[in-house]
Structure 1
């Protein structure tokens, strides 16, 4: 009996895709993107030295905002208007002209926001060893780039010690939710912030944070942090930048560490942000370091083993926000910048 992939090879598909219409200045809105069909039906065959995949799950990540403008000095090149948006995904190999991949393999890596994608840079793909105990979509979240960002950022950049005081912003997001749980497992005191009372309750009651607060309800962020950290902050895992970073700097302890993971508050700003508490970097000998998860790829196999083990043992949980269909992609992505998602934002394109 033929596999589904064997039945598809050589046939044609319209191949719907989500495209960026034009470069974006400011916060993206839904009409900056649209779903289009391929100009002509595509033939479902892998070109030379490539693989053809059927996309199953796509990841919505804040860094993609930087790729929507041509003047932003991001660490990845901008998208091309009129072409399918790119991002991390979980896909199934339909056809392969690469000996490292065969039809039916489940893979994760960079793909395009469309039904079928030709991937020429196959070296960036990783074959998924499917485990019935772990949802497949978790390979763009818990076991994907966000999870690895949390793992590498906390253990390598923050260099935590048992008993330290840890603050995590955007703590109910794809990265922050795992940072907080890893900190608790490490024996730290952990406080997180989020933008709704629902998220605050999740942080405290489901993710195990010691305390949490809704930053939108606080008039003085520096005073708020002083209230939660009477002894000061040893580690600040920063996902937002801006005024929150300044407030945290005003509450850091001597030899505190700040891991700068994201700047979601700055993603659509064109002006500069002034800081009042920068002198503390000197007087308190604070280390502040930006990082990319790709700096630590040598730790990836250890990360997979550790996090898979923690999840199966029930030591950590992971929250997803799942939207169905490419038609929902623009709404899902835009929602990241107004805090509409709870947990990791994922788009389900197709069933396996």
Structure 2
């Protein structure tokens, strides 16, 4: 099912003071844009060129200047369709990295022979407002994960001297939008486009053009048509901007194995979905944002009083995060009490994305 699209209007935020630590010996700066930059992909020691290597979303750090030295290394495989799977972090650890593994899961390579033992290293780049690319600033403003984009970031996107910002600002009289459901979506990737325009004395958009975007030709065309058909108050203005974004299409997980294929031969755990306290499915951080689905197969034992123990991940895709989250999901669940308990239990946890990007799922059982 196609998902609804997100549409955001460009509104300048109220200026707020950034928190600063006077005790730090490092120079104090208002804020920096932090971006994880992907490096070379190597499989079995050989460099492999991606078709589309997705960059993780950016974040903002306020206060003392951050001299970025953090790095993360991930190991994964590429299947015959060019999809990245079995993704796990090999080394490194840092904040602001929730989207690194999801962005790698959304990346694509040439279809062909499967590749194993692949690695990639991400380095963290800290950029001042003056050196951050405008496209990165726009992208952050559409999905601010660590607070609103500060005013000097907006000034890089749209000049404060633009007459479209003069009060009273233009209001839409006729707001025309693309038929978003008919636009093609990309699994795991949010597309956006920033449309610039002026308007004549009658409030009709003129000089309509695309200034930045993610390269979705269909979204660019639809957004330009929509703005040209819209009408606004305010008379002749210049320097108006409006962003449109198309939410990611769901990226389906590969077919999971059956529980029985991984169940130990000496299991005494019955094939039933009986729960005294059912598990509550929650998604791993970062994956709903990209509509990435996954699964995990988890083994566990059950104490006579119903508590689950010895939980361990037998398999998970497309990343190890789904296995880690499945363990978290099952820890709070309880089985009915029994005389002897159970051992060798195996269950699947399925993580699904529903209409509008809301996480759905199949609880174990």
Provide the TM-score with structure 1 as the length reference: 0.24
Kindly name which structure, 1 or 2, has the bigger radius of gyration based on alpha carbons.
2
Larger strand proportion of the pair = 2
Larger helix proportion of the pair = 1
